[in-house]
Amino acid sequence: MNMPGFTRTLAFRISGLFLLLLFISGGGFWLWLGDADIAGDMAADEEAWYQEKAEGELDDLAKKLVPSVNDSAALTRRVENYGRDIFKYSAEIIVFDKDGQYLTSSQPDSLGHVISSVNPQLIHDMSSGTWDYNSYPLPDHVDAYENRIFEVDRLISGSDADSTIQGYLVANFRPTTISLTEIAAAEKIIGINAIALLLLYSALCGLVIMLWTSRRIRNLNIGVTAFSEGQLDTRLAINSSDELGSLGRNFNNMAGNIESMMDKLRDKEQFQRQLIANISHDLRTPMASMRGYVETLSLQSKTMSDDDRERYLGIITSNIVHLDKLIDHMLILSRFDSGQATLRMENFPLGELADSVLMRCEGLAAERNIELDLLITDTDTLVHADPLQIAQVLQNLVENGIKFNSASGKVNIHLSCSNSLVNVAVEDTGLGISSEDLPHIFERFYTADKSRTRAVDGSGMAAVQDHLGQSSGLGLAIASKIVAGHNSLLKVESKVSQGTTFTFSLKAASEMEQRSQKM
């Protein structure tokens, strides 16, 4: 079940945590009140005592007090002992004589000073058994002692025929000892305590929420700090979908991208160092050769024969051509690497293009007696590609086939069609490539072993041999890049001393385009 989006926000989670804490604290307070309801228990006990026990206990006490009316100490002792039992019910007892004068009480140190006497006729009427104790005998003085009396028993001595009233046992409610000022002060204190408790609770809730939030932020900070100190493999453990969780996932994505970029930069730096080393090596060789020959011409120009001079100048020219070609190849590769190389796609007959490439290479092939041939299995070889770039690929492959071929060898370009593709194969009968070198031939500046860069039959002019011996190691790398730009792959198969075959495919022009081309 998909939850609404707002439930995954940090604000919702903090609010939910606060409400949970409020519910827990409120529930705990409610349970505490239920367990600590002493006032309720006391109220129940008081009600039971007043309703069921008070009258009987006071009647029994009145009978027991009669013998002690004239014994002040015994009377006080009995009254105080019973007073302690009923103090919890908010009740007090006082003993008056028959004239209403105070004798003793359950609180002799206080009641005796406040209540010295009562109207004997009033308490006599109250003991008659018909008195309504819910009435106020002294309505003008609500707080008067007489208004708090709830039971009066006569202290009678003698038999029923000859009985005498010795005094009265009076039970009353304890007076309220808190004044209005004290009540107001208590309310103020309660209010202050309530505010203090509310502030304390809010502070505790805020502390819990901040600790929970800061812990997650601290984990983010630890991860970011570790990453900033160079630990690029640092990742955060994310188990939430709120804003902090989203921030953590974004950090992980950013860290992954940066780590990948750093790896690419390190690879690129390594490649650049290797590239500079290779360029330096390839430039140093022809430059050193030219410098040697130039110095020889400068020092021996007067004694050197015209043939030697011409030969040295030819070698210098050959090295200059090689340098120019090397620089041109590096520029082509740099355009491919930077994405600046553009392919101008058009429909053209691949057979005609291949034939023109072979014609350009006839001079180089004739010098080594290499036979060139174009084999076309299908007549429809109209392709959709960049003719200049494909011509560059074919020329590089054919020149390699000529350079690393045996005398009187062959180089063929074979074209065939399958489905919507035109397959191209450049075959030679040359030296072949060893299995160790085969996986690396499309790498830049890779020239395999020396046998791949030297004339092997010893025949031919020295200048031609020097030309054949100079290889930049960039031709196949460029050819591979161009073919890849046409959504194809340049493949190679080779056997030592048997020859090498390079193959790739180009997209054939549509049937409608081919018909319009033929018209």
Report, as an integer, the average pLDDT of 348-375. Answer: 91
The DSSP element (H or E) to which 96 belongs, if any, is strand 91-97
Number of separate domains in the chain: 4
Please compute the mean of the pLDDT values over residues 469-495 and round it to a whole number: 82
Q: Which residue has the tokens 């070609």?
A: 325
pLDDT score of 383 more than 60: yes
In a domain? residue 190? yes
Confidence of residue 237 (pLDDT cuts 50, 70, 90): confident
Q: How far is CA 23 from CA 27, 31, 450, 463, 468, in A?
A: 6, 12, 86, 98, 91
Residues 212 and 146 both lie in one domain: no
Task: Tell whether 10 is covered by a domain.
Answer: no
Give the whole-angstrom CA distance, residue 308 versus residue 318.
15
pLDDT at 462 over 70: no
**What is the predicted pLDDT for the residue at 187?**
66
Q: What's CA 131's distance to the chain center, in Å?
A: 84
- For residue 112, what pLDDT is reported? 75
**Where does 5-159 have alpha helices with state H?**
10-35, 38-48, 54-65, 72-86, 111-114, 120-126
Give the domain extent around 168: 38-177
- Mean pLDDT across the chain: 79
Share of the chain above pLDDT 90, in %: 24
Domain match, 103 and 144 both: yes
Asked if residue 460 has pLDDT above 60, the reply is no
For residues 457 and 369, give the distance between their C-alpha atoms in angstroms, rounded to a whole number: 12
User: Is 366 in contact with 460 (CB distance < 8 Å)?
Assistant: no
Q: 324 and 199, same structural domain?
A: no
Rounded Cα distance, 74 and 63, in Å? 14
CATH number at residue 127: 3.30.450
Rounded to whole angstroms, the Cα distance separating 445 from 274 reads 10
Residue 283 lies in a domain: yes
Residue at a domain's end among 295, 323, 342:
342
Q: Determine, yes or no, domain membership for 7.
A: no
Residue 345: closest CA among 380, 382, 387, 381: 387
User: Which tens digit of pLDDT belongs to each residue from 201-226?
Assistant: 777 877 777 777 777 788 888 888 88
Per-residue pLDDT band for 3 (boundaries 50, 70, 90) equals: low
pLDDT of residue 122: 92
- CA 211/CA 205 separation, integer angstroms: 10
Percent of the chain with pLDDT over 70: 78
> Is 190 in the same domain as 246?
no
Tell me: do 449 and 336 sit in the same domain.
no
pLDDT for 12 equals 66
The dihedral built from the CA positions of residue 267, 268, 270 and 274, taken in this order, carries a sign that is: positive
Co-location of 260 and 304 in the same domain: yes
Same structural domain, 151 and 273: no
Domain boundary among 342, 376, 409: 342
| 492 has a pLDDT exceeding 60 | yes
Contact indicator for 412, 498 with CB cutoff of 8 Å = no
Per-residue confidence at 238, pLDDT binned at 50, 70, 90? confident
Query: Does residue 347 sit in the same domain as residue 485?
Result: yes
pLDDT of 21 over the 60 cut = yes
Domain at 448, CATH number: 3.30.565.10
Backbone angles phi, psi at 134, to 5 degrees: -85, -5
DSSP assigned state of 116:
-
Q: What is the pLDDT of residues 65-116, one digit of tens each?
A: 988 888 889 999 999 999 998 988 889 999 999 999 999 999 887 787 788 8
Report how far residue 109's alpha carbon sits from residue 94's, in angstroms, rounded to the nearest whole number: 12
Task: Based on the fold, state whether residues 245 and 278 are members of the same structural domain.
Answer: yes
- By three-state DSSP, how is residue 277 classified? helix
Higher pLDDT, 407 or 25: 407
Q: For 448-459, what is each residue's pLDDT tens digit? A: 544 444 333 433
Is 28 part of any domain? no
My answer on whether 483 and 357 are in the same domain is: yes
Distances from the Cα of 203 to the Cα of 193, 217, 365, angstroms: 15, 20, 94
Three-state SS at 418: strand
Distance CA 254, CA 209 (A): 29
Q: Which residues contact 443 (CB under 8 A, 6 or more apart)?
A: 473, 477
Looking at per-residue confidence, does 511 or 253 come out higher?
A: 253
What tokens appear for 416 in the block?
């065939």
Q: Which residue has the tokens 């409120």?
A: 26
Looking at the fold, whether 402 and 322 belong to one and the same domain comes out as no
Separation between Cα atoms, residue 495 and residue 476, nearest integer Å: 18
Tell whether 267 is covered by a domain: yes
Is 289 within a domain? yes
On whether both 142 and 194 belong to a single domain, the answer is no
Structure-token pair, residue 505: 């495919």
Residue 467 reports pLDDT greater than 90: no
The dihedral through the CA atoms of 340, 352, 412, 452 has a sign that is negative
Domain boundary pick from 194, 227, 260: 227
- Pick the closest to residue 335 from 124, 203, 481, 161 (CA basis): 481
- Is residue 426 a part of any domain in this protein? yes
CATH number (domain holding residue 269): 1.10.287.130
Task: Give dist(CA 464, CA 180) in Å, integer.
Answer: 127
The reported pLDDT for the residue numbered 433 is: 87
On whether the CB atoms of residues 312 and 292 are closer than 8 A, the answer is: no
In the predicted structure, residue 331 carries a pLDDT above the cut 90: no
